[in-house]
Structure 1
Amino acid sequence: MHWVPARVARSFEHDHPEPPCPYREAREALETRENKLCLAALTEMLGRRDYGAEEARRKLRHAGFRASAIDHALERAQELRFLDEERFLVSYIEERLRRGWGRLKIEADLRQRGSDPHMLPGYPDRFFSAEDDLERACAALARKAVPERNAFERLVRHLMGKGFPYRIAAQAVRIRLDEEESA
């Protein structure tokens, strides 16, 4: 027996109230309907925000669609450029940089979503430089109060939690502590 996602069954039942038909015809009609509904669900998701292909695949699988319908929907969405991995990666990285995230945290988050930023042409140099990282780390520290005890360690740990490498975090903390002493 063939499992049918609830969304597909409801749609099929609503549009096909005729008497039972041969199994093969019913199965083909259900598969066609599932492909259409899966693409519609993907388009709806992409209308809210961009997704990487693997993250979209997981969400569609969680919604109950079968792998064949998901593959069909992803392929069609890529043909129509609704789903574009490079566009997703660029916008995701740029948005996280605006939020003050460091490279390590961005890469870890993308890996968790099933995307690889290294597929982007010019990555990482296109997005990250030591000067920019230091500037973002200093900006993140400007909003943070300097702790009374263990200031260096706590501030470095804070920046490393935001995804900055130790070298950049330590340099930014030294700058902040020097500014604090001279004030």
Structure 2
Amino acid sequence: MSPRRNTAGSKAFTDLPAPPPRTRALTVALTVATVLIVAAAAVSAVVLFTHQRQHREAMRTAESLGFVRSFMTDFTSPDPFNANAYADGLLAQGTGAFAEDFKSRINEIAVSVARFEPTAGEVLEAGVERWNDDGSATVVVVTRTVTTMPDGGRVEDGSRWVVTAIQEGGQWKISDLAQVI
């Protein structure tokens, strides 16, 4: 039966009693609940934004430290049997003043590496000192080298370095390298 049809004994829609009036307490409670929901959504958005920013910074720091650790391990492990490959590999990972200086002395470096004894370097610790305005990271690195002498003896040496790494074209490169005395 159609709701429009009024049958005998049924009440018309206009004859139904009106709903009870809203009380002031209910209106205030609904307003407070709405404000709390909006505030919770705003706080959640701020927390999410902050978390994402910290995550990006942590990933950037981890990437830069990983690259610097790898570079310094290679740098402190000269291979006298492959001196040219050693020099070319380090030059490929450089940029800026470091690359220019290294390139101007690449033959001298290759000859001196060929005269070295086999050496194994390792990074003991590395940490970002600061992030620079140009997006580069200044990293402090502590290394240890172990040189195997022709008589079978081993010589250990430790050193500290300040390395500046910058991201170019999606990959990290060394723009400055200085030993701390």
The TM-score, its normalising length taken from structure 1, stands at 0.25
In terms of Rg, which structure is larger? 2
Identify, as 1 or 2, the structure richer in helix: 1
